[in-house]
Structure 1
Amino acid sequence: MDAEELAARWRERLESWAIPEKILAQAQEDPWSHSPERFGTRTDRALAEPDDGPTMIRLAEALPDKGTVLDVGSGPGASSLPLRDRIGHLYAVDTSGAMLEGLTLRADKLGVPVTTFEGRWPDVADQAPVADVSISAHVVYNVPDLADFLRALDGHTRGRVVLELPHRHPMSWMTPLWQHFHGVGRPVRPIAEDCVALAAALGFAVQVEEREAPLERFTSLEELAASACRRVCLDPSRAEEVAETVVELGMWPVPRDRWVTVWWDKKPA
């Protein structure tokens, strides 16, 4: 298939993850939202315990000393700020103002010059400069129009583009809970290979590395239950029931994800 067909298939598969309206109406809070506090904790851990996995290696080896980094879907900076000693200027894009505030606070403490852009990529791409390297970690499963997203990322990068994503949709682990509480199945695709195929079809010289995720998804059964209540559109008061169900279904501890690093270097002009 060509890039247009692969992009359409990605969009259709991602749209199949939509939560049925009847179930969504029961939600006490947005099941797709992300906690700035939880992401902030992960960023602080990444700063305290630098990751030596392929994503950070491929980003670091292509970043000139005091070069510029474009971080799309940055959150509080877990995938870029660990390179603080090498960064001349960080340009961060995120849809969440709270996430960008967290990044700015940390960057200021670390002495990293930063400019933030609040909005969705590539809608705000025309505001961002071209950077030496770009990183977009754990974002693509939120991107229906992935071809436009990748083209804009490539177009704003002089040297290397790096993506990181789990092998499967990040909500896949909850499929048994959807079936148990709602009698609803969850999709299987898209998966990382679908992103790789599209990037290759767009003409990028894609390279791929895979590893076990360095972090546990949850530090406790209670943390899992609270998260699952929100994601599966259940009242928070059912957290204990969810925890019991997770154990009964053999879902605890949650197996670690497989994380995929996708990267390519820009072709010489």
Structure 2
Amino acid sequence: MHYKDIDWNRLWQEARRRKSWKKKGRSDWDRRAPGFAKRNIDSSYAERFLQLVKPEPHWRVLDIGSGPGTLALPLAARVQAVTALDFSAAMLAELESRAARQGITNITAIQASWTDDWRQLGIAEHEVVISSRSLSVVDLKSALEKMHGWATEKVFIADRVGSGPFDPELFAAVGRPFEPGPDFIFTVNLLYQLGIHPKIDYIEIDQNKTFATREDAVESCRWMLDELTPAEEAGLAAYVDERLEQSDAGTYTLRRSSRVKWALLSWEKRTV
């Protein structure tokens, strides 16, 4: 078989079917929005992402899968405007609330998914299009072509390396096998077949998370699993208790033994 005959889009879909975790729907993210926002605003991930991206004042940025504004909020101070897309209304409500409190007026929030008709929603081309940790799609090829088509200057994609935010030790603790699903290398190979040769940088961060209560920590881990049996619930509780530290302020920090790594893929339209 010749390299050009490999169907990376199909391989991506097959790898997704083998993964150990289920894709979350709109209602799942709506419920998670408040806690997710608290833990992801002002994050070291966002700081490192922006260091690598080097925003420019004339940019209009399309942020696909913006969540509660992890990148949109700090970006807004450095660019002309940000259009934040997310399929979760609750996530966008968190973003708009935080933007209002900070006096930010150059973010437009639009509820939309990867597969919606963006033209019909009035979403125009932007100088820069970003997808940060949001490329959980069935049709990878269409998503990449859509990003490329909506950008006039640059595209940035932050994609998982290996297990990403999913801790293999958590799955082992509840007695389940772990299959992470497709990571950035599928994206790189498909881009190559599309004639795009992205620059690759890496973002490596500690995935220690702080919670108000122990139950919040347990619920955050439960999010990665589905339909736990009583025995699995006991394994989950043991996993959390082994890693949870309480501060003098009364908060709880859940420590992970391994760091989380993301690949930042980027390219300029003029070079393609």
TM-score by structure 2 length? 0.77
Percent identity over paired residues: 22
Listed as ranges, the matches of 1:84-233 within 5 Å are 84-108=76-100, 109-126=102-119, 127=121, 128-140=123-135, 142-170=136-164, 172-173=166-167, 175-179=168-172, 181=174, 184-213=176-205, 215-219=206-210, 222=214, 223-232=216-225, 233=227
TM-score by length of 1: 0.78
CA gap 1:171/1:185 in 2 versus in 1, 3 angstroms: farther
Contact residue 196 and residue 206 of structure 1 kept, 8 A: yes
Partner of 2:251: none
Q: Distance in 1 between matches of 2:90 and 2:230?
A: 23
Report the CA distance shift for 1:68/1:146 in structure 2 as closer, same or farther (over 3 A).
Answer: same
- Once structures 1 and 2 are overlaid, which stretch shifts more, 94-103 or 162-171? 162-171
Deviates more, 1:154-163 or 1:117-126: 117-126
Is this contact kept in 1: 2:161–2:184, CA < 8 A? Answer: yes
1:24-80 CA-partner distances (Å, limit 9, x unpaired):
xxxxx98x934111221134324xx79542x3134334x3x2431100000011122
Tell me how far 1:155 sits from its aligned partner. 0.6
Q: Residue type matched to 1:107 in 2? A: A
> CA offset at residue 236 of structure 1?
9.5
SS of equivalent to 1:219: strand
Partner of 2:69: 77
How many residues of Structure 1 are paired with residues of Structure 2 in the alignment? 252
In 1, are the aligned partners of 2:20 and 2:180 still within 8 Å (CA)?
no
**CA separation of 1:98/1:259 partners in 2, compared to 1, >3 Å: closer, same or farther?**
same
Contact 1:59/1:160 (8 A) holds in 2? no
Distance 2:183 2:237 in 1: 27
**Equivalence for 2:17:** 15
2:36 corresponds, among 39, 47, 57, to 39
Cα distance change, pair 224–3 in 1 and its aligned pair in 2 (3 A): farther
Counterpart in the other structure of 1:24: none
Matches within 5 A, 1:59-78: 59-61=53-55, 63=56, 65-78=57-70
CA distance in 2, matches of 1:189, 1:130: 31
CA distance in 2, matches of 1:3, 1:94: 34
Unaligned segments of structure 1, at least 5 residues:
21-28
TM-aligned CA deviation for residue 231 of structure 1: 2.7
